[in-house]
Structure 1
């Protein structure tokens, strides 16, 4: 297995007493080669539909039963509604730091946000939402994250299901054998799937927050500005070079957790997995074919919704 060395790169930090940041020495980012694993066209279709539907207010009446998923993430909170066929029909998502390491740290803020999202989506659909499924990071006891369930209840939603994030993601991906890796806002979650069932899960710190902190330190900007820079298509090459060591760490986490298992391929989900080069770095370090679907941020929320009771 060959690991490509880090491009020429020097991590600068702001000067003392509010001085200007040190000079950034940045080499051109290595362009990733195409993934060796093709994505599922049906999964990509559903994710394209989610990207075109969520955060698009306006009347969208739907006949038939609906299912709702609420994903309280470290960086983003997502509420998505799917129809009887599992197609996204409405939803909202918003950057909100109300959860840390799977634990709700701003209970009042979480309730207010989910309540507002619920009300807006109900107005779009012209009908009430009565229940929702939600999730928790792997390796965290459901008892430790019961506040997540309580957020739903306080927002007027019965909590119909409480599922770990990789299991939720695989409800959409439908992987028979392999690893589902959720690179979220704060952690990297790994699930081993055999014969369509999750047989092992693990979760370690390192996610989008760590990427943003590196960008903020390197460029001498605020965390909020770093988040914006991270999403700017014009700066993808720069960001890739700055965060390459963090990508390597994600790859190392994945390699360690899949080592005891016969993993055929790795399937990346979560918003951070869509960053330039992530798929290639994970494949390089693990030695496994790796793929990331379009709009990976929506995989887990849709999978959560698929666990809700139709209503």
Structure 2
């Protein structure tokens, strides 16, 4: 199964709340995002088996700010997927924005441990996405809620990572200010695909800023202009995002289907 087919299969499993009839052992990945938490299970070959997600606000700019709330949500997702699959899940992998170290990085592992999953691995978020997309030579841009991270791969090896504090949260803040609504209402507006055409002109400066940040992070990195660029993360789901980002970035970028699920699936592959 090709990478994009795997992503679409995971989406179908989450939407239908069903599990693929694939044998274990299984791999588990937990993505603690700023706007959502996703738990994904694959078989030993990386084929999606099941998953579940919750919109949440327990993480800010890559930092866990509601430890107990995060544990409770991961525990709920674990229980839900265990029921769907009919098996017990006991180990899992997590991911953090590039450059997250010390206790900030450890917090993610502590969260899944508190939810009953023994932490087995922790990776950079864009690296997890790159694994799903099977990138040998290319660039992954992972736009999270609070940060935008990049990973550059050459001959299948990670040669550069960076992270800057601009993401989906900033899109919501702009919407909240423009429409004089609460941040929570802005989040819901952003998630409503029927409103995307309307809000695109409002959030265009934020998308352009994201593209400029990525371009600046890559300044001085020899040869990057020849590498394909993939953009993942929930913000990339916005209608017209790929075109707007490409124009500001200076060349075409590719947005995989269901970009919100790419990194969670990649985390599971490291499980």
- Give me the TM-score of the superposition, normalised by structure 2: 0.94
Contact 1:213 1:223 (C-alpha < 8 Å) held by counterparts = yes
C-alpha distance after superposition, 1:261-307 (max 9, x if no partner) = 22222110111112123222222223233100000001100000000
Matches of 2:23 and 2:153, distance apart in 1: 35
Equivalence for 2:117: 157
Contact 1:61 1:124 (C-alpha < 8 Å) held by counterparts = no
3-state DSSP of counterpart to 1:290: coil
C-alpha distance after superposition, 1:112-136 (max 9, x if no partner) = 1111111111111111101000001
**Does 1:278 find its partner at 2:241?**
yes
The structure that has the greater radius of gyration is 1
3-state DSSP of counterpart to 2:16: coil
3-state DSSP of counterpart to 1:176: coil
Residues 232 and 157 (structure 1 numbering): CA distance in 2 closer, same or farther, change over 3 Å? same
Residues 58 and 168 (structure 1 numbering): CA distance in 2 closer, same or farther, change over 3 Å? closer
Counting helix residues as a fraction of each chain, which structure ranks higher? 2
**Does 1:83 find its partner at 2:43?**
yes
Tell me which of the two structures has the higher relative contact order, counting C-alpha pairs closer than 8 angstroms and 6 or more residues apart: 1
Pairwise CA distance, 1:149: 0.5
Equivalence for 2:101: 141
Residues 276 and 58 (structure 1 numbering): CA distance in 2 closer, same or farther, change over 3 Å? closer
Number of aligned residues: 268
Equivalence for 1:193: 153
Residues 1-311 of structure 1 aligned to structure 2 (within 5 Å): 42-57=2-17, 62-261=22-221, 262-263=223-224, 264-308=227-271
Structure 1: gaps spanning 5 or more residues: 1-40
Contact 1:255 1:285 (C-alpha < 8 Å) held by counterparts = no
Pairwise CA distance, 1:60: 5.7
- Give me the TM-score of the superposition, normalised by structure 1: 0.82
What is the root-mean-square deviation of aligned Cα atoms in Å? 1.6
